[in-house]
């Protein structure tokens, strides 16, 4: 394989050569074996297409006999199987020796669109500190593709950071639900209380410890400032008291779990306590 866009990949370098690399350009993985007749037809065709596309995508070749763990991980049950990755995730696949036109259509479908490239440009602008340009490009991308998940979540993240949580929730509401959309929705709801007077709310809770509504608002203000552990403590009190704000407190705790992620120790500890309080 003389092409710089084609590489033999093993279990040892799959993370780098495929998953990490796919954050730069799409990576098409050809799962094949030496004894497989259809593989001998499809493999050279994929390599030829990779050369024709001149680096628009990378082709990774995985010998299933030598890399059985990878085959199992990606549920390769027959070969040849071709799996495309973008941004570290599988986005498409096919099985069998496709003809050239079908292979090219498959590749075209996984390449970034003009809107995708615009979103990448916007993300670069944001990293460089140019939030104005980033926001303009995210909005321009959404004007062309209203349900573009990356443009929508990126714009929502920018709006949340700026405290414009209502608009962020509107943007997120137009997207197909997934883990990142739900995480940002949780973050937006928590951030909405950041403007509340923390000192005043704390004073109310201290002077009126049985006022569950005051405690709820205090907990929301803490969560809006990312002070998650004390916020969870106060939310839990409201839930245990079965007060009028019980459901709001429960939802706020779930929102914090969503922001922190399932693996965070606070999530594990307080999720158990919440479940116990609800029983």
What mean pLDDT do residues 90-105 have? 95
Q: Looking at the predicted structure, is the pLDDT value of residue 17 above 60?
A: yes
Instruction: Answer yes or no: 36 catalytic.
Output: yes
Residue 27 sits in the same domain as residue 90: yes
Three-class secondary structure assignment of the chain: CCCCCEEECCCCCHHHHHHHHHHCCCEEEEEECCCCHHHHHHHHHHHHHHHHHCCCCEEEEEECCCCHHHHHHCCCCCCCEEEEEECCEEEEEEECCCCHHHHHHHHHHHCCCHHHHHHHHHHHHHHCCCHHHHHHHHHHHHHHCCCCHHHHHHHHHHHHHCCCHHHHHHHHHCCCCCHHHHHHHHHHHHHCCCCCCHHHHHHHHHHCCCCHHHHHHHHHHHHHCCCHHHHHHHHHHHHHHCCCCHHHHHHHHHHHHHHHCCCCHHHHHHHHHHHHHHC
The 10s digit of each residue's pLDDT in 46-85 is 999 999 999 899 999 999 999 999 999 999 999 999 999 9
Q: Where a domain ends, among 165, 191, 217?
A: 191
Residue 174 sits in the same domain as residue 217: no
How many domains does the chain contain in total?
Answer: 3
The 10s digit of each residue's pLDDT in 145-196 is 999 999 999 999 999 999 899 999 999 999 999 989 999 999 999 888 777 7
Residue 63 sits in the same domain as residue 106: yes
Check which CATH number belongs to the domain holding 238 and give it.
Answer: 1.25.40.10
Predicted pLDDT of residue 194: 76
Q: Where a domain ends, among 191, 209, 244?
A: 191
Which residue out of 18, 39, 201, 232 is catalytically annotated? 39
Question: How many other CB atoms are there within 10 angstroms of residue 185's CB atom?
Answer: 22
Residue 181 sits in the same domain as residue 253: no
For residue 1, being part of any structural domain is answered with: no
Predicted pLDDT of residue 3: 72
The 10s digit of each residue's pLDDT in 230-272 is 999 999 999 999 878 899 999 999 999 999 999 999 999 999 9
Q: Where a domain ends, among 162, 191, 220?
A: 191
For residue 202, being part of any structural domain is answered with: yes
Instruction: Answer yes or no: 61 catalytic.
Output: no
Residue 252 sits in the same domain as residue 164: no
Which residue out of 36, 59, 175, 259 is catalytically annotated? 36
Supply the pTM of this predicted model.
Answer: 0.69
For residue 64, being part of any structural domain is answered with: yes
Residue ranges making up the domain that contains 54: 6-110
Check which CATH number belongs to the domain holding 62 and give it.
Answer: 3.40.30.10
Tokens 């979540």 belong to residue: 153
């Amino acid at each position: 394989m003389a092409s710089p866009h084609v590489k033999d990949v093993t279990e040892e370098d799959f993370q780098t050569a495929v998953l990490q690399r796919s954050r730069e350009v799409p990576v098409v993985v050809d799962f094949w074996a030496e004894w497989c007749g259809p593989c001998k037809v499809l493999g050279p065709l994929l390599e030829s297409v990779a050369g024709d596309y001149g680096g628009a995508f990378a082709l990774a070749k995985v010998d299933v006999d030598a890399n059985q763990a990878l085959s199992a991980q990606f549920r390769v049950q027959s070969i040849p199987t071709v799996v495309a990755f973008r941004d570290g995730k599988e986005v498409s696949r096919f099985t069998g020796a496709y003809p050239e036109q079908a292979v090219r259509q498959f590749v075209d479908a996984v390449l970034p669109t003009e809107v995708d490239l615009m979103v990448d440009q916007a993300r670069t602008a944001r990293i460089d500190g140019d939030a104005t340009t980033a926001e303009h490009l995210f909005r321009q991308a959404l004007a062309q593709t209203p349900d573009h998940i990356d443009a929508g979540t990126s714009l929502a993240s920018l709006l949340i950071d700026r405290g414009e949580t209502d608009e962020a929730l509107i943007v997120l509401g137009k997207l197909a639900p997934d883990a990142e959309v739900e995480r940002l929705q949780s973050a937006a709801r928590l951030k909405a209380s950041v403007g509340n007077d923390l000192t005043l709310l704390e004073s109310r809770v201290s002077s009126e410890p049985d006022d569950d509504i005051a405690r709820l608002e205090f907990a929301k203000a803490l969560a809006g400032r990312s002070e998650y552990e004390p916020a969870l403590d106060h939310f839990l009190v409201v839930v245990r008291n079965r007060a009028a704000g019980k459901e709001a407190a429960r939802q706020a705790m779930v929102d914090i779990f969503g922001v922190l992620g399932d693996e965070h120790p606070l999530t594990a500890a307080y999720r158990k306590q919440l479940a116990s309080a609800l029983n």
